[in-house]
């Protein structure tokens, strides 16, 4: 089980590192372990909605690496398409 140490706190600005540390500490004390539907690792976190990558609950790492960027890409693509349709 990996909750701490997946993040390189030293590489972050101190204020950001403090936010992550507090979040991870709280999760390690209160969350129920589950298997991430993306990477299949067991984590002790609250979990995140993995859509549109997968149906299910994913870990924080997969959420930050895959789910959020894909959501941003979809929003960007939709706004680009809307913009293209307006200029026609
Ligand atoms: Zn994961």
Beta bridge partners of 58: 48
Dist. CA 76 → ligand 1 center (Å): 24
Interval between CA 77 and ligand 1 midpoint (Å):
25
| 31-80 tens-digit pLDDT | 999 999 999 999 999 999 999 999 999 999 999 999 999 999 999 998 99
Q: How far is the CA of 39 from the centre of ligand 1 (A)?
A: 4
For the cut 70, the answer to whether the pLDDT of residue 88 exceeds it is: no
pLDDT above 50 for 1: no
pTM for this model (two decimals): 0.79
Asked if 53 contacts 70 with a C-beta cutoff of 8 angstroms, the reply is yes
Distance 2 CA to ligand 1 centre (A): 11
Cα 83 to averaged position of ligand 1 atoms, centre (Å)? 34
């Amino acid at each position: 089980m990996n909750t701490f140490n997946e993040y390189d706190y030293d590489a972050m600005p101190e204020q950001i590192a403090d936010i992550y540390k507090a979040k991870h500490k709280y999760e390690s004390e209160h969350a129920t372990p589950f298997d991430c539907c993306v990477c299949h690792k067991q984590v002790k976190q609250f979990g995140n909605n993995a859509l549109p990558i997968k149906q299910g609950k994913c870990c924080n790492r997969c959420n930050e690496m895959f789910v959020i960027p894909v959501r941003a890409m979809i929003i960007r693509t939709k706004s680009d398409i809307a913009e293209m349709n307006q200029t026609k």
